Chains A and B, each alone.
Chain A
């Protein structure tokens, strides 16, 4: 090793490293933000619209967005995540000014990134003058508006329905129940036939909340339409409201009678649906968007199942269906607000509303004339036509923690660790904290 060889070897090595690094940098972008990439502040806007949507929306919007790009000449840069993940990231992104132009927001006040919460903070653009604003259905309107201004666009709507296995009902000689006593009788007959009457995959609590909303839809809102206003003003509480006590009492009645799945707190949703598909259980309460997955577990497909609205009173005419809009909103600090609005206007055209609903097997977001391919939801259509629908109960609760407490403490309630009064008391406590 002499002195001249030293630097040269080092130089070769350095040069090689440098070349490698430059090559890597050149070969793959993604080391720096080029400016118009997903950034609300730094972007130059122009002909790109950025969108951050949930997984379901991403699946339904794919083809429509291609059509929009062809028609408008704009480019849509869409990224997606599961709703949980999206909710967590969107909050930080909005605070940090990195949120997309078009964003998926939750209805009402149900999460830190709900239309109501963000609308009050001025994070969302006012869409009241959009051409589709008049097509909002009444159940959606209250959830999309803040102080009379429209803040969100419903891409679709979902209903909470009971899906049942036709074969199992038939073998047990059970008819579709339309009243609470009929539901109890059906459960009794199904239990006697050796099947679990109701599949309750309550792991994580997501399927448990459907029960609360479905009960509330019939037992709370039609009886006392002002209950949310009364609770907001402190006039009543979960604990003091006879309607809310009744709603939880009905769930407890089914649970105490043993009609729910064994070990329900450990059963994940997919297994709960599978057990209905295989006939171990007779029915499951779920959102209509979950129906295709349920059908997929059975060889019979859609034909093997029926759907009905959960009855909760002695009178079949009392039954209501909870409906949930799936929202998109325009970021108030959007780089390209015009582009985002143009995309919403495009999605609001009746043929596109119809295309989305058919693609995803959901209800149309707007109250426009559409024809649905799937007949699965036909049994609940009369209820919708008669206006017997409500939003999910949690949407107008003042913060997401009320629901979070309902889900977690609700599990303790289901396994008998705490009483109904404790559960309602804890929910009241979170409710009292108001909108942060």
Chain B
């Protein structure tokens, strides 16, 4: 069979190299300089940017928040997405319509989701108003203004937007669960919970891996919603690495320091991705 020439990959490689590879490497180099984006040439400062990163309250808090957001959205969104998928992979008459509705937020521009929720979560905004109207005023909160719950509110918004995506992945996975297997288990006297626990969930492991890695990587890189909703505040309560990085680069003009933050973020994403990849590969060997 004649070989496919490498010319096939050249256009893609050129564009990818231009847009992703070269700038990333160049940015990585800037992480070790004091570049301010001025015409003056930057000088190498070694690890100074990284030392500052560990000392600055904004960056430290951002590091913690980034990890917190990533881990909690990954776990909660997976659970919620699975629950929705199980509920809608059933004989419900409205299941098609409901799937459509639950998935809709995933299509919206994140900037718009940010604006929308910023408004909903204001102290006298629609959410508190609605809670008051149904007699749940005890649950009213200053959702984005109270430093102790602002991060939880942000996480909630992210999950609202993306739970439908996880649901869709699980729905696809559920189609691969043979009904005969479940029937056999039912005849053997397995309860609904046991069938779920012993048959369905193990068969959904591939879907789980995919859903979790997508959520994890996406939430580590999260920018638009946080930037629009809180800008990192109140105080530093919802600061994330990508928001601090953006502010340092484009508000304060400290590109070298910003590049260092971005490099740390990249390292974290890689570390998590590596762990995920291992899990994925182990699964591939199994099947």
Check whether chain A touches chain B (CB < 8 angstroms). Answer: yes
B27 interface residue, CB < 8 Å from A?
no
Please report the C-alpha to C-alpha distance between residue A92 and residue B235 in the assembled complex, in whole angstroms. Answer: 27
**A window 392-436: CB within 8 A of B:** 399-401, 404, 408-409, 411-412, 415, 417, 426, 436
Complex contacts, B192 vs chain A, CB 8 Å: none
Contact (A415, B253) CB under 8 Å given A266-B142, A408-B235, A408-B236: no
Bound CA span A400–B247, Å: 11
Residues of A contacting B173 in the complex (Cβ-Cβ under 8 angstroms) = none
Query: Which residue on chain B has the smallest CB distance to residue A118?
Result: B38
Q: Does A268 contact B (CB under 8 A)?
A: yes
State whether the Cβ of B146 lies closer than 8 Å to any Cβ in chain A: yes
Task: State which of B119-127, B157-165, B194-202, B205-213 sits at the interface with chain A.
Answer: B119-127
Q: Is A254 an interface residue (CB 8 A)?
A: no
Contact of B146 among A121, A265, A408 (CB under 8 A): A265
B176 at the interface (CB under 8 A from A): no
A263: CB under 8 A from chain B?
yes
B145 CB contact (under 8 Å) in A84, A89, A95, A265: A265
- The B-contacting residues of A in range 79-132, CB under 8 angstroms, are 84, 87-89, 91-92, 95, 111-112, 121
Q: Does A203 contact B (CB under 8 A)?
A: yes
Interchain CB contact under 8 A, B37 and A408: no
With a cutoff of 8 Å between Cβ atoms, the chain A residues found around residue B24 in the complex are none
Least distance between A6 CB and chain B CB atoms (Å): 18
CA–CA, A265 and B234, complex, Å: 6
Report whether A203 and B37 are in contact in the complex, using a CB–CB cutoff of 8 Å. no
Docked pose: A436 CA to B142 CA in angstroms: 37
A interface, how many residues as a size bin?
20 to 34
* Cβ-defined contact, B146 with A263, below 8 A: yes
Assess whether A224 is interfacial by the CB under 8 Å rule: no
User: Beta-carbon contacts of A258-279 to B below 8 Å, as 1s and 0s?
Assistant: 0000111111100100010000
Q: Are A408 and B232 closer than 8 Å at their CB atoms?
A: yes
Contact in complex: A415, B235 (CB < 8 Å): yes
Question: From DSSP, what is the main secondary structure of chain B's interface residues?
Answer: loop
B 75-117 binary contact with A (CB < 8 Å = 1; else 0): 0000000000000000000000000000000000000000000
Complex Cα distance A268/B145, Å?
10
Kindly provide the distance from the CB of B156 to the nearest chain A CB, expressed in whole angstroms: 15
Bound-complex Cα distance A92 to B252 (A): 11
- CB of A267 within 8 A of CB of B235, answer no
Q: Cα distance A263–B127 when bound, in Å?
A: 15
The reply to whether the CB of A204 lies closer than 8 angstroms to some CB of chain B is: yes
Chain B residue contacts of A404, Cβ below 8 A: 247, 251-252
Identify the A interface with B (CB < 8 A): 84, 87-89, 91-92, 95, 111-112, 121, 203-205, 262-268, 271, 275, 399-401, 404, 408-409, 411-412, 415, 417, 426, 436
Q: List 30 A-B contacts (CB under 8 A).
A: A84-B251, A92-B37, A92-B250, A95-B37, A112-B37, A112-B252, A204-B233, A263-B123, A263-B145, A265-B142, A265-B233, A266-B122, A267-B122, A267-B123, A268-B118, A268-B119, A271-B123, A399-B252, A401-B252, A404-B247, A404-B251, A408-B58, A408-B232, A408-B235, A409-B57, A412-B234, A412-B235, A415-B146, A415-B147, A415-B234
